[in-house]
């Protein structure tokens, strides 16, 4: 008797497991395919042109400080709080210039800010739609009035871009939104691109930027690494990079062309497609449980009759 | 279903020495929770932009809910496999689940940066069905409600039979300034009692549909807890990042659930000085290896399919943690294959502990240890962060101790003792309630 029930149990476990497996692997083959929209807005950062003046950083803070709750950071060496010297992106810094030194003679500046992915992981994981991607402009935007502060976007972003205000009682997520409500609305260009004195940041539509980038690679192949970072990384980003050094040395991670969100959504969608699997599971279990209970109550009644 | 005689209250004082020790731990934890709300999360925790999820999510939510899966695992056994023999265990399992999930929900509210916006989960226009976390959140909220409903019969029965001694004592103490006079209060309490008496049988009739919901919901959200990390393809170590994460998490919570039900029964029998429920426990223990073997097979099969076996055997930091997790579960299960060990409280305790530890370590590996956001990021929980978690666990134990004294939760010893004698003589499918005379619960 024990054996039969064990088999039943295995059958049940096997059935649920197999169902999940079939969903997981079956639909992984059916690639919906990511449509790249080259009309979206973006920026091209050319590290070889950047002189490291950090004018873009201060312009960003000046323009967005009220809107994005960007306060000035206290430098670590500075007890009086007079100096702003961020060492990384943070809850008060949306864009940052860093200097990478390979040797005394070979070095390169690099700019960090939101990559504005074609298929953003942060948008894919946000449970309450606080992270959104605008349909026309492609801007990945954040709404603090919706955000619950779960920080799943930080886990998900392969570039480690969204930052959280850890030291505040009323914190929010901070990341670049292409000056959507500030400079872009007023002047049609992001503050950093407008300010850059060296022409290292170019603002425009993704297709124009890509064309420009490939032209620069063609014109001066010796100057650059022959790769436009962001063209294919993680399904493509709207923030594109040119540099003279391998991008992973500049702190830009190597990412496969498939967007991480494609992989996770495929699995999640197949398990919950049309809510069929959960409903089926519930009704099957109900059927078994009610049957079992009736059987058991039958035993109880028998016992009562027999007992008296 | 009329099984209330199966359970009894625990006799004895509530306010013992351990009660006050636990209470002081809880209060210390809550002091830090207060600090967190005034000064921000950064003031109490070592979490950072690289490690935005610390032990609050890893332990309290991801691991804590797995440990709270006793209710889920035992419910599958009792209602789906139809072995009512285990029915006496279900209330304490459900009670632990109720505290586990309730406090996981509480710690989420501590962890969330903007908890006042959490109402967005109930606004359809804000729903984001792509997010595994959305699924987890809704399921966990629904399941917590279901758990309360599942436990409600114990409370209702207890209200029905209550003589309101404590209430009257409090009233006499407060009288005459604040409390109402005796007659009004007795009338009102009678109303509550009648309400409970009215509700209880009606609830019992539909309870099975909530119980089944209580099996469906954990199946969904426990697998989604694994899905949460699917997106971190560049950050989670390849030993753990796989498309099978949902399935592995689901199996993981089932074997943790059965093991924790065993541990809980042994520990409470030991500390409340009641006889061990060896008969039920050994049956339960016989199931665990079947689940763990599937889990271990999927782990190995998946690793070899992705060509990562060498990473598991490399001997570095990650492979060390992987091997620990793997061997704990494997060795714990091996012990349970031996019939003699399944009938010994000591070996049951050892093997169940190993399996719970290994299973919990798996979740830590996925959420924290195998998670590497890039160079320069490090995470180790701060004292205050640990104390908040410890405080929440202490509150769980405290709540359990108080509840088993107030409500009929633990298996009735009269029945149990008789069953034990019979159980040795002959095993039968129907279990205790079916063949034994129905005794009244004697503890009041």
Neighbours of B12 (CB within 10 A): 12
Q: What's the rounded mean pLDDT across residues B135-159?
A: 91
Of the candidates B52, B126, B246, the beta carbon closest to that of A155 is on: B52
Q: What are B239-283's pLDDT values in tens digits?
A: 999 999 999 999 999 999 999 999 988 988 888 888 888 888 888
| Contact of B243 with B40, CB cutoff 8 Å | no
More confident position, B96 or B184: B96
Q: What percent of chain B has pLDDT over 70?
A: 90
Residue among A92, A165, A122, A70 at smallest CA distance from B113 = A165
- Give the N- to C-terminal CA distance of chain A in Å, as an integer: 29
Cis amide leading into A151 (omega within 30)? no
pLDDT band, residue B15 (cuts 50/70/90):
confident
Contacts of B119 in chain A (CB under 8 A): none
Q: Is the pLDDT of residue A296 over 80?
A: no
- Cα angle, residue B107 at apex, residues B102 and B113 outer, rounded to 5°: 135
pLDDT at residue A23, rounded to an integer: 44
Q: pLDDT digit string (tens) for B381-402?
A: 999 999 999 999 999 999 988 8
pLDDT of amino acid A71? 65
- For B3, the token pair is 């099984």
Count of A-B CB contacts under 8 Å: 230
Contacts of A295 in chain B (CB under 8 A): 82
Q: What are phi and psi of A42, to 5 degrees?
A: -165, -175
Distance of CA B14 to the CA centre of its chain: 22
**Residue A2 above 70 pLDDT?**
no
HSE, side-chain direction, 13 A CA sphere, residue B159: 18
Q: Give contacts of B 51-90 with A, CB under 8 A.
A: 52-53, 79-84
The rounded distance, in Å, linking the Cα atoms of A259 and B21 is 51
Distance of CA B437 to the CA centre of its chain: 32
* Position A49 pLDDT exceeds 80: yes
Examine the pLDDT at A74 and tell me if it is beyond 80.
no
Task: Identify the residue with better confidence: B422 or A111.
Answer: A111
pLDDT of residue A232: 93
Q: Please tell me the predicted confidence (pLDDT) of residue B187.
A: 85
Highest average pLDDT, of A195-199, B128-132, B167-171, comes from A195-199
Q: Among A12, A127, A281, whose Cβ lies nearest the Cβ of B131? A: A127
Give chain A's mean pLDDT.
84
Higher per-residue pLDDT: B288 or B7: B288
Instruction: Flag whether pLDDT at B36 surpasses 50.
Output: yes
Say what the pLDDT of residue B78 is.
Answer: 87
- What's residue B334's pLDDT? 94
CB < 8 Å to B79, chain A: 288-289, 292-293
pTM: 0.86
**Closest residue of chain B to A285, computed from CA coordinates:** B212
CB contact under 8 A, A264 and B434: no
Cβ neighbours of B47 in A, within 8 Å: 166
Position B283 scores a pLDDT of: 86
Q: What local confidence, expressed as pLDDT, does residue A68 receive?
A: 64
CB B60 within 8 A of CB B104: yes
Residues of A in contact with B72 (CB under 8 A): none
Chain B positions in Cβ-Cβ contact with residue A278 (cut-off 8 Å): 216, 220
Interatomic CA distance for residues B392 and A116, integer angstroms: 39
pLDDT tens, A14-40? 444 444 444 444 444 444 567 889 999
Mean pLDDT (whole number) for B172-194: 77
Contact check, Cβ <8 Å, B41/A166: yes
**Residue A292 and residue B233: Cβ atoms within 8 Å?**
no
Q: pLDDT category, A109, cuts 50, 70, 90? A: very high
Beta bridge partners of A117: A237
Does position B421 have pLDDT exceeding 80, yes or no? no
Instruction: Return the pLDDT at A65.
Output: 82
Nearest-neighbour CA in chain B from A13: distance (Å): 8
Q: What is the pLDDT of residue B439?
A: 34
Query: B184: pLDDT confidence band, cut at 50, 70 and 90?
Result: confident
B417, pLDDT greater than 60:
no
B416 contacts B275 by C-beta, under 8 angstroms:
yes
Question: Is the CB of A20 less than 8 angstroms away from the CB of B223?
Answer: yes
Stretch among A79-93, A294-308, B136-150 having the lowest mean pLDDT: A294-308
- The DSSP result for B226-294, as a single string, is HHTTTT-TTTB-TTT--TTHHHHHHHHHHHHHHHHHHHHHHHHHHHTT----HHHHHHHHHHHHHHHHH
pLDDT at B87: 82
Closest C-alpha among B316, B396, B318, B367 to residue B47 = B367
> Which residues, including other chains, have CB under 8 Å from residue A113's CB and lie 6 or more apart?
A89, A94, A95, A96, A161, A175, A176, A192, A239
The ipTM is 0.84
| pLDDT per position as a tens digit, A146-179 | 999 999 999 999 999 999 999 889 999 999 999 9
Tokens, residue A124:
């894919």
Rounded percentage of chain B residues whose pLDDT exceeds 90: 56
Q: Whole-angstrom Cα distance, residue B21 to residue B28?
A: 11
Q: pLDDT value at position B178?
A: 66
Q: In the prediction, which pLDDT does B39 show?
A: 93
pLDDT in tens, B59-100: 999 999 999 998 999 898 888 887 677 888 888 889 989 999
DSSP class per residue in B181-215: PHHHHHHHHHHHHHHHHHHHHHHHHHHHHHHHHHH
**Distance from A45 to chain B by nearest Cα, in Å?**
22
Q: Which residue has the tokens 């873009």?
A: A56
Q: Which helix (H) or strand (E) holds B435?
A: helix B432-435
Q: Which of A162, A118, A172, A116 is nearest to A139 (CA)?
A: A116
Sort B111 into a burial class: Cβ within 10 Å, 0-12 / 13-18 / 19+.
buried
- Mean predicted confidence (pLDDT) in A121-137: 94
Place of tokens 């003046």: A53
Q: Please tell me the distance from the alpha carbon of residue A265 to that of residue B131, in angstroms, as a whole number.
A: 8
Phi, psi angles (nearest 5°) of residue A173: -85, 140
pLDDT value for A242: 96
- Return the percentage of chain A with pLDDT > 70, whole number: 83
* B93 vs B75: CA distance, rounded Å: 9
Residue B1 scores a pLDDT above 80: no
If you write DSSP's letter for every residue of A208-222 in order, what string do you get? HHHHHHHHHHHH-TT
């Amino acid at each position: 008797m024990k054996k039969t029930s064990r088999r039943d149990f295995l059958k049940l476990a096997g059935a649920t497991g197999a169902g999940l497996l079939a969903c997981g692997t079956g639909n992984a083959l059916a690639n919906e395919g990511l449509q790249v929209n080259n009309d979206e807005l973006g920026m091209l950062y050319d590290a070889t042109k950047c002189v490291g003046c950090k004018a873009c950083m201060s312009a960003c803070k000046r323009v967005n400080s009220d809107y994005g709750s960007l306060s000035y950071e206290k430098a670590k060496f500075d007890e009086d709080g007079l100096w702003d010297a961020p060492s990384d992106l943070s809850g008060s810094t949306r864009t940052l210039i860093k200097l990478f030194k390979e040797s005394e003679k070979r070095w390169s500046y690099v700019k960090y800010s939101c990559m504005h992915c074609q298929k953003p992981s942060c948008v894919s994981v946000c449970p309450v739609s606080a992270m959104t991607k605008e349909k026309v402009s492609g801007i990945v935007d954040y709404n603090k009035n919706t955000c619950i502060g779960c920080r799943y976007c930080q886990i998900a972003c392969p570039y480690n871009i969204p930052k959280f205000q850890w030291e505040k009682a009323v914190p929010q997520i901070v990341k670049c939104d292409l000056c959507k409500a500030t400079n872009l609305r007023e002047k049609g260009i992001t503050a950093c691109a407008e300010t850059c004195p060296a022409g290292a940041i170019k603002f425009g539509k993704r297709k124009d930027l890509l064309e420009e980038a490939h032209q620069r690679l063609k014109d001066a192949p010796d100057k650059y690494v022959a790769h436009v970072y962001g063209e294919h990384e993680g399904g493509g980003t709207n923030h594109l990079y040119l540099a003279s050094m391998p991008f992973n040395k500049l702190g830009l991670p190597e990412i496969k062309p498939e967007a991480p969100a494609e992989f996770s959504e495929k699995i999640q969608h197949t398990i919950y497609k049309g809510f069929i699997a959960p409903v089926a599971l519930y009704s099957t279990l109900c059927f078994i449980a009610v049957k079992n209970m009736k059987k058991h109550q039958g035993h109880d009644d028998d016992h009562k009759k027999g007992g008296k | 279903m009329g099984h209330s005689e199966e359970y009894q209250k625990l006799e004895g004082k509530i306010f013992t020495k351990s009660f006050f020790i636990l209470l002081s731990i809880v209060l210390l934890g809550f002091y830090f929770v207060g600090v967190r709300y005034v000064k921000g999360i950064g003031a109490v925790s070592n979490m950072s932009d690289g490690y935005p999820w610390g032990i609050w999510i890893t332990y309290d939510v991801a691991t804590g809910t797995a440990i709270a899966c006793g209710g889920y695992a035992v419910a599958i056994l009792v209602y789906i496999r139809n072995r009512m023999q285990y029915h006496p265990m279900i209330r304490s399992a459900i009670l632990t689940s109720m505290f586990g999930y309730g406090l996981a929900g509480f710690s989420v509210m501590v962890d969330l940066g903007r908890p006042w916006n959490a109402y967005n989960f109930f606004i359809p226009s804000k729903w984001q069905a792509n997010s595994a976390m959305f699924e987890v959140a809704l399921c966990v909220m629904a399941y917590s409600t279901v758990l309360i409903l599942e436990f409600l019969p114990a409370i209702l029965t207890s209200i029905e039979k209550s003589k309101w001694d404590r209430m009257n004592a409090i009233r006499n103490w407060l009288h005459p300034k604040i409390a109402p006079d005796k007659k009004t209060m007795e009338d009102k309490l009678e109303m509550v009692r009648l309400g409970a008496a009215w509700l209880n049988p009606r609830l019992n009739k539909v309870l099975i549909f909530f119980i089944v919901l209580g099996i469906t919901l954990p199946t969904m959200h426990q697998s989604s807890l694994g899905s949460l990390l699917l997106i971190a393809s560049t950050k989670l170590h390849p030993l753990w990042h796989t498309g099978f994460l949902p399935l592995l998490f689901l199996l993981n919570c089932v074997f943790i659930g059965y093991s924790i039900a065993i541990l809980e029964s042994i520990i409470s029998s030991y500390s409340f000085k009641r006889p061990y429920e060896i008969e039920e426990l050994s049956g339960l223990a016989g199931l665990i290896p079947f689940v763990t073997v599937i889990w271990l097979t999927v782990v190995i099969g998946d690793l070899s399919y992705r060509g990562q076996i060498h990473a598991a055997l490399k001997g570095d930091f990650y492979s060390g943690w992987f091997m620990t997790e793997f061997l704990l579960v494997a060795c714990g299960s091996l012990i349970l294959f031996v019939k003699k060990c399944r009938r010994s409280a000591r070996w049951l305790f050892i093997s169940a502990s190993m399996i719970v530890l290994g299973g919990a370590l798996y979740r830590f590996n996925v959420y924290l240890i195998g998670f590497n956001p890039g160079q320069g990021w490090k995470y180790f929980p701060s004292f205050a962060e640990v104390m908040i978690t410890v405080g929440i666990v202490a509150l769980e134990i405290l709540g359990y101790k108080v509840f088993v004294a107030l409500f009929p939760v633990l298996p009735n010893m009269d029945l149990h003792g008789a069953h034990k004698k019979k159980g040795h003589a002959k095993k039968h499918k129907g279990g205790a309630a079916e063949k034994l005379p129905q005794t009244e619960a004697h503890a009041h």
